[in-house]
Chains A and B, each alone.
Chain A
Amino acid sequence: MFFIKLRDLFKSYGSVMALNGLNLEVPKGSLYGLLGPNGAGKSTALRIICTLLSPDSGYVEVGGHNVLFEEKETRRRLGYVAQDVAIDKILTGRELLQLQGDLYHLDKKYKKNRIEELIDRLDMHEWIDRRCGSFSGGMKRRLDLSSGLLHEPELLILDEPTVGLDIESRSVIWGLLKELRNKETTILLSSHYLEEVDELADEIAIIDKGKVIASGKPDDLKKELGGDRVTLRVREFSDEVEAESVKKLIKNINGVSNVVVNQTQGYSLNFLVQSNDVISNLSAHLSKENFEVFALSHSRPSLDDVYLQATGKTLMDAELELAGKRDFKLENKKSMR
């Protein structure tokens, strides 16, 4: 049973296409990770699910409710922890939670008990009665997370919850998410931290340019690659022509598949091998055509390999590429009502 269904979701900001036919199904009670670089469309999708944005077209369902027509019902069911922590610097942490409780119409006694419970769980005793303006990034994020959980939502949406956090805060948040995952709460988490998604998510969807390009269980996606990942360089800085020649050569070796030229990493070649014997014989194949092995690394497949396989570049390269194209004015406009 799916708790969230997104069908053919389109959203653009002027000429920028943020979502380009996004389809997604999130099973009830699962921790679902959205993986992709900044600007891939993750936050836009989350904001639509939270009723903060309307899509240009498409269908959105949360817990059996059509989000576009049953906004209030949807809001009752979800807790949202935004990418940029939005807190009132003048209020204390406890006052912020009390305000949040009133906005969700919690009764007085329940609100008080629940706030104490969350202060305990997220270890906020020492600083909860201080003004939010004095909090570190980790404290703010923990407070924000407890705000999102105050009304015990069926769905918790977290947009990049651990960006820039200290290790202690990250560990507290991961611990809580693991605990929630074991209950009936559905969690939708966006991140561009591979290890975070790999560690926490039951299922993931990789988003690129506003659409899902791969989805499934992390282990299944890695297995689907069909072998171990090898990165090869024939020179420190190769060029396109050389890389393509090597690609042509490697492609024909038995036991090699999915050969990709990684332009942003000096035209290195990434490919999968079915066994270690293939690697042993690689050097011989290359020297026949007068190529040498400058560098060669071999690893079990990771989610980054899944991303690389799907897009032709690593997640970090995609981040760097998009970083140069980011329009901060547009992003600011997107986040403001």
Chain B
Amino acid sequence: MTDLMTGPGAVLDDDLLRLSPAIGYTALVLVALSTVLIGIYGLRISRTTGDFYVASRTVRPWWNASAIGGEYLSAASFLGVAGLILISGVDALWFPIGYTAGYLMLLLFVAAPLRRSGAYTIPDFAQARLDSLLVRRVTSLLVILIGWLYIVPQLHGAALTVRVTTGLPPWAGPLAVVVVVCLSVVTGGMRSITFVQAFQYWLKLTALAVPVAFMLFRLGDAGLPVTAGGSAFTADLDTTADASLYGTISLVIALLFGTLGLPHVLVRFYTNPDGASARRTTLIVLGLLSVFYLFPTVYGILGRIHTPELAAAGAADATVLLLPGRILGGVTGDLLSALVTAGAFAAFLSTTSGLVVSLAGVVSQEFFQGSVRGFRTAALLSAAVPLGIALLTDSLALAGSVGSVFAFTASTICPLLLLGIWWRGLTDAGAIAGMLTGAVSCGGAIAATAVVGAGDRWVLLSQPALWTVPTAFLTMVLVSRATAGRRPASTSRVLARLHTPEPR
């Protein structure tokens, strides 16, 4: 089924998947242009070192939260959620719930302490907390791996969007995204990125919300079915079996605890002035995400009535792109399709650039002594590797492949952060043992799924978080206990810094 969707030389029903190329190009140019303009505006107002590092300290929580939302809402959210709802109905609603509630966990356990740690990246935090270069190295490698795995689905989404909207071959989309991201990162660095990302949140929201309003109005006006008397909810378009209870719970655990280890998410928290405002920002982010996810849900439901054939064609992720044209048609349909396409591009660009920037920071500090040249090389490297992977692999459902990255993060970085922030007993040996156990078990399960396929019998492998996350935690605790002599002398001081409020 999925072979049909992508892969070089895939056969696609042209009538099914076609928008006028003019729409696609217009949208591409609009997004690129507005991104550049806002970037220049941001560049103008930030010139000094202080501006560079703490630019966001002068930015209000609303801007900051919008930027976080802009960076976080990826291809999986913008296209994948609606596609998954189209295919598997109510079970797919767990994805947006997990993506949102992940920020609740971040708020409860990580936001304020991590901001107060002053660490800029996760490896920085690991080194400061555990006073060990080896922990730093292991964490860096994991962060780089996670970043690469997370960029790949973004590029798959770009391939799909560019193919649907412009008819260009599948490699064009990923290449375009990587080139734009590299150009902006290599030349401009991160200076103005907060404004760009914040703008892109609102662009994405508008791009989904405005067509929904038009579509619902048209459907109501013409007396066409909205939910078709409820059959939108019961229609069985699924080509696989229903999600099991185990699968659902495991997925929720992965999404809840994976969010708080994502590299590009954590970088953003450093841009808050203090711990208390980190919390306020997270609160706003939760609101922004909750509002946003209503719209992909509506697309998914409408898609079940108006574009059900996309499920069988293996192109469910194109639902958001095709639905406005299908329901509205004419000039209105074209304009709104362009808007949705623009939103999709914004999603790939913002998430990919956020990831590339945070990865480049880690890679350059680890391997290039943190020089500017090194940062640029690292940025190219951070984008080129996932580009290669994306071009060599076929995309699965976007939301699903992002889900396994969350499981991997939850099994590796999450225990390090949670135990590092809240438990005095953590040692460097324990941290390394736990992270490696989580990486091997979860990574192995994901790799095995790729080999045997995600059947019902293999749900333990395709949704591994429910057993790999506790295993990683347990290993970390037990090995730390066994090596209690290795507790760093600075533990009390570091923990005090993490948890005491900033002076009034």
Whether A and B are associated in the same complex: the answer reads no
